[in-house]
Structure 1
Amino acid sequence: MTDQEPGLTRPIGATVTPRPAIAALPQYAAGRPPQPADGLTPYKLSSNENPYGPVDAARQAYRSVDALGRYPDPTAQTLRTTLAEVFDVPAEDIVTGTGSLGALTQLISCFAGTGPDGTVDEVIYPWRSFEAYPIVVRTAGAQDVQVLVDSEGRHDLEAMLAAITDRTTVILLCTPNNPTGPALSHQEVSDFLARVPRDIVVVIDEAYIEFIRAEGAVDALALYRHHPNVAVLRTFSKAHALASLRVGYVISQQEIIGPMRAAAPPFSVSAAAEAAAVASLGHLDEIQITVQNLVYERQRVREALLEAGWDVPAAEGNFVWLPLGEHSTDFAHQAGVLALSVRAFDGEGVRVSIGETEANDRLIELCRSYSLRG
């Protein structure tokens, strides 16, 4: 046997390698669980999870599904119909996905990539923001364009506008921004859209929409009704506390939803997940109570840290951002000693999810002592 078959330009013994774009992808770092410490209850504050869990109706609906040998409805019609009633939008304007990340992946794969002539599309997004953005964009074969947030952790919308080129096909807005916390206002997004070319898809990622209390916050559904290039991205993982079931959705007009529906992976939302999500939507009053409890704790934590001399950006999600820079890894280690897991972004900062009252109290005490060490 020869090392090379006739007609081949590489040896038979060559090893399998992924596409260069895949090999160069950053690794998604999921929040780690807390490590035990003597005499301390461990708390996970690293994944922006809802510590109160889902409403009882959602738990019961999930358990009631026993048709495990049958495929789910590929279009999640019941869920889409319920969402349509809740938000007063046509069910045809909704596409569901495996979490908001799955829905975003569907959207990016439809509108960004590498064209038949080799032209690479560009996707603009703020940075630091959701760490899955570069993974999704680069996996699709597109070029990501990161625009740094400002010193207060806010989108620099002027810089994002300046970054638009003839190759830009998608822009991502994250409000409130994960992990820094500030939310966009309706006026600034409206003004932004007025200056964005009509053929660019603008995604408004609202994974934490239920936690926003800032006056004048963006009304993404109003913008979707007036702008065919706007896509609203939401999830059941945060406020509804259904993170493990992976249910998300996009609301947009048919110019965006049509291609997304055509390219959607079938059966992306399981029957059990759909049942739980529908049940949760039927108990929004209970959801609001747990959300308000988390908002109260978020405000209490931020105010305590500000009083202790910390620089904490406006927080509109279920987390706070500590811009610790080079001290980020050390702070995360100190939190771990106290059985608190937090999410460190090395060299940038630490995102801390709002958890149970005891966990939040322990975080406050850590910050007070840590700030004294300088």
Structure 2
Amino acid sequence: MIDLVIVGAGPAGLGAAISAAENGLKVCILDEFVKPGGRLLGQLHEEPDGKWVNGIAEAEKLYERAIQLGVNIQCGVSVYDLIKLDNGWCVYTTDKIIESKCLLLATGASETPIPIPGWTLPGVMSIGAAQVMGNVHRVKPGEQGIIIGVNVLSVAIARELQLCGVHIKSILLPQPSLLSGDAAKPEKMMESLLRLTHLAPSPLIRFGGKWVNAKLGARLYPKNGFKMWGISIQLRKTALEIVGENQVEGVRIADISATGEVIHGTEKVVPADFVCIAGGLTPMSELAAVAGCSFCYVPELGGHVPLHNEFMQTNLNGLYVAGNITGVESAKVARAQGTVAGLAIAHELNALGNRANEKLDEAIVEVVETRRKALIQFQPGIEEARMELHHKFHESRGEAILM
């Protein structure tokens, strides 16, 4: 029986493996993708200070450090079942069965689909798929594209696609429906945009973002949108249908009011050879459910997340979580959470040695500081939501609140 199995070789999983292995634990990482790195692999962007972030290079550094520490990394392996043992966990994979003393789920997040008429045509893909095509495989998803869904993810990846030499004609809203929900409401999406104005190349947009009210901004928003990096972001237009015979040929759009109602008679078709659908992200927590973990619904964190404390420990002995399975945030936050989880697991297995509590406290502070410095916040109120989640964990166990 090994000390720790980690499911997920993204920044959280690799960060946890490194901190656990540095304290002498025998660690195995499993990931269904063919190479480690997770969402880091698709990231390539310039920060406001001019520094470029190359996710592939960052993933390679983490991978090399983990290998140097003796971590066993197995890619192309899926986990389909988890069984709690008296003294650990039994992990069922497509390759073999592994028993470990502790288990960390760092499975990340998945994209939320928004069904739109015509979305089964060749050339329609999720925004994350386009990111992987461009930044990982170096293949253009097309020449001229339209992104349906205005949110933090779509705006950030639109810029990355532009750097790949792809022309993004516009980013616009999906048609109002039960499934699209708030994603079709200009006022709600204005809130999302206001959290990105600090990244805008225009000083005017950056300044305005500090003062504009979301509801007022949606009403005053120009019908033809405004541009960031030359990309038209349109909150007063909606995608009614993706059109084409054998592949994407364009998108039928229409104007909408500030509250999201379609203005009939304004329909037209905008040509495009590919379409990305950006419905946002939600924690990928199926394995936690299989394990029998307790959950809590937290909208600010992206949906249902496993109940856990600040040490990334769930209500099940020996089961920990880290990264976007605990709530959708940046890769830097995920890595910091992984470090906490690795140290906490080492502490549980009596391997952390001297200054154990001090090391854990320092790692937890690092998570908080990394979150506060994050360039992108996927939802407002993340810090408060996490504190409330931790409170619920302690209350469920009859424990005193630690933070």
Report the TM-score, using the length of structure 1 for normalisation: 0.28
Q: Which has the higher contact order (CA 8 A, sep 6+)?
A: 1
The structure with the greater share of residues assigned to strand is 2
